[in-house]
Amino acid sequence: ERKELLSRFLGLERFLHVDAIIRKNLSDWKQFLTAVEMEASLTEASVKSEKALLAEQTRACTHPDPAQLEHLQTQEVKLSEEIRSKERLLEECTIEKNKFLRLAEVWAVRSAKYQERISHAENQKARLFKLAGKCPVCLSEIRESDKQKHLEEIESVLRLAVRKRSVCRRKEKKYRGLVRNIEQRETEVKEELSTLRSEKELCLKKMHEVRQQIEREKMIVDALDERRSSIRKLSRMHHVQRQCIAAIHEEREFLETCQRIVHRDGLPSFICATVVPRLNALAQEYSELFTGGEIQVHFRFDSGDLDVEVCNVHGGRGVVDQSHGELRLAGLIASFALREALAPY
C-alpha cells in the first residue's frame, strides 16, 4: 500500500502506461524491420540474378556489322544485273542460232536440188554415151555431131550445177559453223549463268543469315534494355528499402531510448533520486512542526524502489514498533512532505 501510495503521488502510472505503449510499438517496428529486411534481401538477390543474366546476354551478343549486309545487298544487285545480262545474251544467241539454222537448212535444200540436177545430168550423159544407131524417140539416125553438141550442153549444165552446189555447200558449212560457234557460246553462257545463279543463291543465303543475326541482335538489345531498366528499378527499390531499414533502425533506437527513459531505472528513478533530498528536508520541517522532532520520517531510494523509514526518538525505530497515533503522525509528516515536494510536478 505504501509503494502504491508513493507511486500515485509520483505519477508513476503515466510512465508505466507509456512504457507499455513503447514496448508495443517497438515490437511492431521489429516485425516490420524483419519484413523489410527480408524484402531487401530478395530484392538484392534479384538484382544479382538480373546482373548475371545481363552479363551472360551481353557475352552472347555477336554484334553483326550492318556494312556487311549493305555489301551483300550491293553484291546481290550486281549479280542480278549480270544474270539478266547473261539471260538476254542467251536469248540473243538462241535467236541467232535459229536464224543461222534456218539459213543452213535453206542452203542445204538448195544444195540438194543442185545435187539432183547433177545426178540427172550425169544420168543423161551416161545414156547419151550408150546411144547408137537410131533415136528411140524419132527413129532417125543419130549423128555424132548432134550427140557431141548435146553432150556439151549436158556438160555445161553439169559444171554450172556443180559450181552452184559448191556455193550452197560453202554457205551451208558457213552457217553450220556459225551455229556450232553459237552453241559453244551458249554452253559457256549457260555455265557462267549457272555460276552466277549459285553465287546469287549463296549471297541470298548469307543475307538471310545476316538479317537473322541482326534481328536476334535487336531482340537481345531490347532484352538487355529491359533488363537494365529492371535492374535500375530493383536498385532504386533496394535503395528505398535500405533507407527504410535505416529509418526503422533510427526509430527503433529512438523507441529503445524512450523505453530506457520511461523504464523504472530511467526517468522515474532519476525523479525519485532527485526528489528524495527535498522530501527528507520537508519531512524534517514537518516533524519539528507536528512532533517537535520526536518522530522522524526518512525517504530512501534504493535499487529502483522508494522506501520510507520511521524513527521514534523515545520509542521504536521501525514501523512495526510504532503505536497507531505515532503512525498517524508519521503519515501526516510524509503526506505533507510529498504534497509540497511534488506540487510543481
The predicted structure's pLDDT at residue 6: 47
- DSSP labels, 98-139: HHHHHHHHHHHHHHHHHHHHHHHHHHHHHHHHH--SB-TTT-
The predicted structure's pLDDT at residue 205: 93
* Helical pair 144-262 and 12-60, crossing angle rounded to 10 deg: 160
Cell of 198: 549459285
Nearest of 61, 82, 20, 64 to residue 211 by alpha carbon = 64
Distance CA 203, CA 70 (A): 12
Burial of 123 (0-12, 13-18, 19+ CB in 10 A): exposed
Distance CA 3, CA 307 (A): 7
Ordered mean pLDDT values, 10 residues apiece, the chain (345 residues): 46 60 76 80 81 74 73 90 92 92 93 90 78 57 70 86 92 92 92 92 90 81 79 82 82 72 60 75 83 80 70 66 73 79 62
Distance CA 121, CA 131 (A): 15
Distance CA 141, CA 301 (A): 191
The predicted structure's pLDDT at residue 137: 56
Let me know: does 335 contact 318? Beta carbons within 8 Å. Answer: no
Let me know: does 29 contact 244? Beta carbons within 8 Å. Answer: no
Nearest of 32, 14, 17 to residue 252 by alpha carbon = 32
Residues in contact with 141: Cβ distance below 8 Å, sequence separation at least 6, in sequence order: 133, 134, 135
The predicted structure's pLDDT at residue 108: 93
What is the DSSP secondary structure assignment for residue 344, as one 8-state letter? T
The predicted structure's pLDDT at residue 9: 47
